[in-house]
Structure 1
Amino acid sequence: MLKAAYLHIPFCVQICHYCDFNKIFIHQQPVDEYLQSMKKEMIHTTTRFKNYEMETIFVGGGTPTALSEQQLQTFLGDVNEVLGNRSLIEFTVEANPEQTTKEKIAVLKANGVNRLSVGVQAFQSSLLKKLGRTHNKEDIYSTVAEAKKAGIDNMSIDLMFGLPGQTMEMFKESVDEALALDVPHISSYSLQIEKKTVFYNLAQKGKLVLPEQELEAAMYEYLIEALDKKGFKQYEISNFAIPGFESKHNLQYWNNNEYFGIGAGAHSYVEGTRRRNAGPLKQYMNLIEEHGFPYIEEHQVPLSEKMEEEMFMGLRKGEGVSDATFMSRYGRSMFDIYKEPIQRLIQKGWLEQREDTLVLTKDGRPLGNEVFQEFIGVVLD
């Protein structure tokens, strides 16, 4: 039974220089009309696909907190009306510090939001400016304090490393500052240069100077050690939590479970089919009006691809991939299907077997993408 939904708010007050997600500058956009289209998509989706019982909802973007208080109230009310139920245990909204006011936090809390994912990225003004971020350190402190005061204690902080001009001292300071905020979850990612971003254009012109790979690797190693000392468990390659505060929604993805995807550019995985929604606002809204659904791509996932995804999604997790779970889903052992790549990766020291489970080793974690490639395209007997 499907238990998760992702909802996409594409609007931003400022476009970050590294972001390749589906987003649009909010000024003079048809925000209210878009929210109405999202409600229609929710209704049509739950009418067509009835085998669901929501346990987790995640609202991402873009910047959900770019919405006004009234727009947030309308949107969250619609979400609760269509998707909400007593089974809901985690309701997350992404929040940018400079736009997450005391009043907006009150709206979030009143509508059942019980987790915030705060886009911090760094604590140094110089780095934030290079990233195209418009918040400062004081905004971060204020957002976290106001959320706690409102009773939202379950928060995650996003940090980035490998940034242009970022030194090890800067990253250590950011990790220390994040820990001082006393939140139970930290996500940390290295900068990836994606097409259609400011950073990509700068890199093409030779104007983007990034830290050496050795320094980036050292930052990641420091992150793991520093958070471990403070009681954070690395339960996924880039995610760390005080036990009990793992992201239940993101675990739905890493456990290769199905989910609804609502909104412009959103992806869904329902009844064995992956679907992609139209990204441009006008196209998305027109498709909703004309056809009820905004799909521009549908892919029935074959068995071989499901098994590949089970491996490389599951190996992202600290607990790895269980052969018992694999066999219950696909009727065969992963040690049979992937015998050769598993043996190669174990010999390289990137994978280890713990009873019936495969996990990335300490050396394998920074090389996750190389490990995952080994499971793609294996011919089934």
Structure 2
Amino acid sequence: MRTWTSSTIIAVLLWAGTATAQPLPATSLNTCQSTVRTAAKTYVANYVNAVGTCLQAVAAKVVKDNAPLTSAVASTCVLQFRNISDTRALGRSLGEKLTATIDRKCEPGMLYVTHTLADVLGPGAGVPQPLNAENINSWCANFGGDGSIDSVAEWIDCVRNAHTCAAHAAIATQYPRALEWLALVKPAMQALVPPATDPNKITDAVAGLTALDAAMEGGADDNRPTLQCGGSCGDGLKNGSDQCDGGDLGGATCVSLGFSGGTLACSGSCVLDTSSCVAECGTCGNSVREGFESCDGADLGGASCESLGFVSGTLSCTTGCGFDVSNCHAAAFPATGQVTSYGTGSDGDVRAGRTPSYTDNGDGTITDNNTGVM
């Protein structure tokens, strides 16, 4: 009788399994769409809530104590900060984890053409607030895509490019107060000493906060940060979050932005530059001479005491944006050496020279200005 060794049995089983292997079962469209919805919601809601809560918690300690943070930051918070923009290795950030999760569920069905990518990424897989997108296509377009996701590679590229910006957008929407404290949180984090078992713990967390900070470009009209992420700034085409790009102003002009005229331009960071736009009546007090203003602050428009007919002195600007000539000096009278002074008598005539010795009272009498006697 033939005796089978354990190794032989294992080899036969492996061969049999290979010979009879069947393609992976196709993932249903509903399952794939459900995965997209669930993964996106988990990322946007749960993760962003955690980041916002941590921002508030750490910043509140700094504000309350009015001093650098000396106590340890909760490990869970450091992890959330770290995951905004993980610097340790690929595949660690939540955006990359999100991509992997969706790929595992959706790709088998795509490979066997049981449903198309357009089906998966259509309105049925809509991303919830605060991304404000009707579907994945428009969501990806916000981050530099053309609005048409036609392959798995484009989907992966979209998510990888968008994951940090999506977090920025959600945090900016839900936690504007925490973002006001971001400048205090970062140095507080940098002051902490990382544990010996994880020397990069704090620096990676600060890198995440720095990535968040870098996406905030000043303040918008509603006092919320203006997000500058996505798009392809510098390609000459206004797309993604670009306000403009090179000569592509998206149809905007100085007039469409509320100015009376001027030349609208685009900055190197793809933000509209209105510095050469002209306001109709000017905005007195903004230190820029415009409209009908004679001057504004230190901007005298090239005028000087001399250009206004004086011989010397310092020209300045009034708070009403008109010239102030009080420190300008006029020419002396050649005959007397007497400087010009201005005033009016009771008859309305302009007087020049020294103060008159007598004042005409207009009733046939005069007053001696030296003695006050009529």
Tell whether the structures are fold-level matches, with TM greater than 0.5: no
TM-score normalised by L of structure 2: 0.24
Q: Relative contact order: is structure 1 or structure 2 higher (C-alpha 8 Å, sep ≥ 6)? A: 1
**Which has a greater percent of helix?**
1
Structure with higher Rg: it is: 2
TM-score normalised by L of structure 1: 0.24
